[in-house]
Amino acid sequence: MSGRTLTKILIVEDEPEIAQLVNLYMGKEGFRTSVAKSGGEALKLLKSERPDLVILDLMLPEIDGIEVCKRIRNAPDTALLPIIMLTAKAEESDTIVGLELGADDYVTKPFSPKALVARVKALFRRLDRETSDQRLSFSFGPLAMDLSRHEVTVNGKEVSLTAKEFGLLEYLLRHQGRVLTRDVLLNTVWGYDYYGTTRTVDVHIRRLKLKIPLLNDAIISIKSLGYKLSDQAPALS
């Protein structure tokens, strides 16, 4: 592993044979694991075990995987927790919903345990890069953000943003392609001691779109959850 000190994985799978197989292969790679046999048990272990990654089956008793994924993303403490979904081919529509809710990757059953291990390692490597990302600038098509100068430009022309608008845009750029809930955006950009409503986020998103029209289609609203910045940046003009 590339520098991670915590490598705890929560395996959420109600089929004993699959859970045992995944547990065995993750253990061989040096990961510490916990196993939950239901959605309810998974939510309890998330609080007590504080895993670094969740391998989540979609078809679960009590609370299904889609709902577990949604609750993980809605809780500020776990909103950015990496999730790899296990899904059957027949559950394609549920897979799409899961990815829209913010799952990071998915593996279709039946799967190779070695392939799953490879996905886990690849995801951890990506997270290591994100954690160590100390970039002072971002670009999104013709939009450029310079953190050192606290400046945003579009096609070279400066756009005047408030401190919160700037912070909100930076967080979206830093987590491009990930679903970010309103609670996470509120707690991160406004601070954990902020007691305003989540509508504050919606208002600032609207202001960003008014000031930077190219964000109209690029900032995608995820119904009842929050927002994400599109993976596809607009073309340079």
* pLDDT (0 to 100) of residue 4: 44
- For the stretch 77-120, pLDDT in tens is 888 889 999 988 666 777 777 777 778 888 888 899 999 999 89
Q: Which two tokens stand for residue 20?
A: 């045992």
Better-scored residue on pLDDT, 6 or 119: 119
- What average pLDDT score do residues 138-166 get? 93
Domain boundaries, the chain: 8-131, 137-229
- Mean of per-residue pLDDT scores for the chain: 87
Residue % of the chain over a pLDDT of 90: 53
What is the CATH topology of the domain spanning 137-229? Arc Repressor Mutant, subunit A (1.10.10)
Q: Which residue has the higher pLDDT, 24 or 235?
A: 24
Which among 169, 150, 167, 163 is positioned nearest to 212, based on CA atoms?
169
Residue (of 131, 135, 139, 69) closest to 100 by Cα position:
69
**Interval 146-169 mean pLDDT:** 92
30-53: average pLDDT: 95
Q: What angle do CA 117, 67, 96 make, to 5 degrees?
A: 65
Q: What is the average per-residue pLDDT within 125-140? A: 76
Per-residue model confidence (pLDDT) at position 197 = 67
Higher-confidence residue of 4 and 15: namely 15
* Domain 8-131 top-level CATH class: alpha beta
Average pLDDT over residues 117-133: 77
Count the helices and strands in the chain (H runs, E runs). Answer: 9, 12
* pLDDT tens string 180-216: 888 888 877 876 555 566 788 999 999 999 999 999 9
Spatial contact of 175 and 163, defined as CB atoms under 8 Å apart: no
- The enclosing H or E element of 231 equals none
**What gap in Å lies between CA 18 and CA 59, rounded to an integer?**
13
- Computed over its alpha carbons, how large is the radius of gyration of the chain? 19
Mean pLDDT of 121-126: 82
Which helix (H) or strand (E) segment holds residue 132: the answer is: none
Residue 117, helix vs strand vs coil: helix
Residue 131 has pLDDT above 70, yes or no: no
Query: String of b and e for 161-198 (b: at least 16 CB within 10 Å)?
Result: beebbbbbbbebbbbeebbbbbbbbbbbbbeeeeeeee
